[in-house]
A = this chain, B = another copy of it.
Amino acid sequence: MIIIMKQEATEAEVAEVVREVEQTGFRPFINPGVERKVIALLGEVDIDKVQLVDHFSVLDGVERVQLISEPYKLASRHTHPEPLKITLGLQPDAERVTIGGTELVVMAGPCSVESEAQIVGTARAVKAAGATLLRGGAFKPRSSPHSFQGLGLEGLKLLAAARAATGLPVVTEIMDPHDLDVVCRYADVLQIGARNMQNFSLLRYVGETRHPVLLKRGPGAKIADFLLAAEYVLNGGNLQVMLCERGIITFENATRYTTDINAVPVLKKQTHLPVVIDPSHATGDAEYVPSVAMAGIAAGADGLIIEVHPDPAAALSDGKQSLRPVRFATLMDQLRRLAPVVNRTLADGCTQ
């Protein structure tokens, strides 16, 4: 249930409604920064909902009360009718980038951080092509315990060095709650990987931070589960969540996963959170990445996250799906021509 206040409701009226909500046993939640206040009722209370609607409807300052069927309240567009804009780049040496508005945001970089030369070089290259965030894994969730597991803290430091060199804010994955402090110290955006999308403990810990979060969809997760996972982070008070479609698991084996392109308009309808497409994991093949990147933006996504590696054949992980910098730059040119067709802009690359 959500209570939509009148545009002109006073603070006192809002406070009174909040008090009434608390008395029912529900937890009231108000989305900050929204002009018209909407109060969501959180929790499970065994109470007659219809009677409750009547009760709240007559309070001063209330425009209307709406029963919403989605189990996610905070992630619902009903609670937050306007698309959310998130400013990325909270580390002092990072440039500021806004996702969710007119500007398309492209995050690019290698799957794993491997060396200073590799990450700084890639950062320079993707920035030159117009990327505005740097991606790179320091802690890697690998299917096999016998595979390369990332450089850990050393990787985080190299990412920071790349940021210092280019100004690009850094998005990197957090896997273990014990690493949360150290990752927050170096990262601008916390990535929750697809395999941890329903690691509810981790979601809760991340929800207690105030770092923007890039939440990747689990390959076996329905959109409704995806939004409920976001709800865990939002529920902790961290309201800056981006949703990343990175392919779902289906019977088709010509590609590694199946990009759920339908998810773009569905998410845009259901939630105010920005939507990012990861064509690299969603296809598993660099050859198909440009087509799917174009499709994602044409469908309405707010951004892309793309794997770029200076020497894909030598990459320690996911080389097959990484673009070379030159191919990435060509794709960025095409995206730049696409942007105005969907009423967006894309940052220019710097002169090389």
Residue numbers of A with Cβ under 8 A of B are 42-44, 71-73, 141-148, 175-178, 195-196, 198-202, 204, 218-225, 228, 231-232, 235, 248-255, 258-266, 268-269, 282-283, 287-288, 290-292, 294-300, 334, 337-338, 341-342
Are A222 and B253 in touch, CB under 8 angstroms? Answer: yes
CB-CB under 8 A from A291, the residues of chain B are 261, 264-265, 268, 298-300
Contact of A295 among B176, B251, B261, B287 (CB under 8 A): B261
Q: Can you spell out 17 A-B residue pairs with CB atoms less than 8 angstroms apart?
A: A142-B200, A145-B200, A146-B235, A176-B177, A177-B177, A196-B198, A199-B202, A220-B251, A222-B252, A252-B260, A252-B263, A261-B295, A265-B288, A266-B288, A292-B299, A295-B296, A297-B298
What is the total number of copies of this protein in its complex? Answer: 4
CB-CB under 8 A from A337, the residues of chain B are 341
Are B147 and A44 in touch, CB under 8 angstroms? Answer: yes
Please measure, in the bound complex, the distance between the C-alpha atom of A292 and the C-alpha atom of B259, giving whole angstroms.
12
Please measure, in the bound complex, the distance between the C-alpha atom of A145 and the C-alpha atom of B75, giving whole angstroms.
12
A199 to chain B, nearest CB (A): 5
Are A176 and B195 in touch, CB under 8 angstroms? Answer: no
Residue of B nearest to A247 (CB): B262
Known: A177-B178, A178-B177. A338 touches B266 (CB 8 A): no
Are B269 and A263 in touch, CB under 8 angstroms? Answer: no
Are B254 and A224 in touch, CB under 8 angstroms? Answer: yes
Known: A200-B195, A262-B259, A288-B262. A223 touches B298 (CB 8 A): no
CB-CB under 8 A from A195, the residues of chain B are 198-200
Are A232 and B200 in touch, CB under 8 angstroms? Answer: no
Please measure, in the bound complex, the distance between the C-alpha atom of A141 and the C-alpha atom of B229, giving whole angstroms.
11
CB-CB under 8 A from A200, the residues of chain B are 141-142, 145, 175, 195
Are B250 and A250 in touch, CB under 8 angstroms? Answer: yes
Q: Which of A42, A176, A288 has the most CB of B within 10 A?
A: A288
Are A265 and B292 in touch, CB under 8 angstroms? Answer: yes
CB-CB under 8 A from A342, the residues of chain B are 294
Contact of A145 among B232, B252, B264, B294 (CB under 8 A): B232
CB-CB under 8 A from A201, the residues of chain B are 175-178
A178 to chain B, nearest CB (A): 7
Q: Which of A195, A221, A223, A235 has the most CB of B within 10 A?
A: A195
Contact of A299 among B141, B218, B235, B294 (CB under 8 A): B294
CB-CB under 8 A from A42, the residues of chain B are 146
Which 9 residue pairs across A and B have the least CB separation, nearest first? A220-B220, A298-B298, A195-B198, A176-B201, A265-B291, A295-B295, A295-B299, A294-B298, A261-B261
